[in-house]
């Protein structure tokens, strides 16, 4: 009678291995997957794409410092 209703969504899967995420390590399933993800960020395996700077910033970079 006290059954938990669980719905499986994309956010309930570990972002590293795809196993069900553990509430303690969410969005990961274990400390191992959390550490793997952290290591990828620290090794720069992941990167946030950057866009070209606006022209006015490029002009500032060309000026000599006093």
In a domain, 56, yes or no: no
CATH number of the domain residue 17 falls in: 3.30.50.10
The answer as to whether 57 is a domain residue is no
User: Cα(32)–Cα(11) distance, rounded to whole angstroms?
Assistant: 18
- For residue 20, what are the β-bridge partners? 13
1 located within any domain: no
pLDDT for the residue numbered 44: 87
Residue at 27 is within a domain? yes
pLDDT given at position 66: 47
37 vs 44: CA distance, rounded Å: 11
For the chain, the farthest-separated pair of C-alpha atoms sits apart, in whole angstroms, at: 76
What domain range includes position 23?
11-47
**Residue indicated by tokens 């994309």:** 10
- Whether 62 maps to a domain, the answer reads no
35 vs 49: CA distance, rounded Å: 23
Tens digits of pLDDT across the chain (66 residues) = 455 544 445 568 999 999 999 999 999 999 999 999 999 999 988 888 877 766 776 666 655 554
């Amino acid at each position: 009678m006290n059954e938990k209703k669980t719905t499986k969504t994309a956010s309930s899967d570990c972002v590293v291995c795809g196993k069900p995420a553990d509430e303690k390590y969410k969005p990961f399933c274990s400390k191992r997957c959390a550490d793997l993800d952290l290591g990828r960020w620290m090794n720069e395996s992941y990167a946030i794409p950057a866009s070209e700077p606006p022209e006015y910033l490029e002009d500032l970079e060309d000026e000599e410092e006093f």
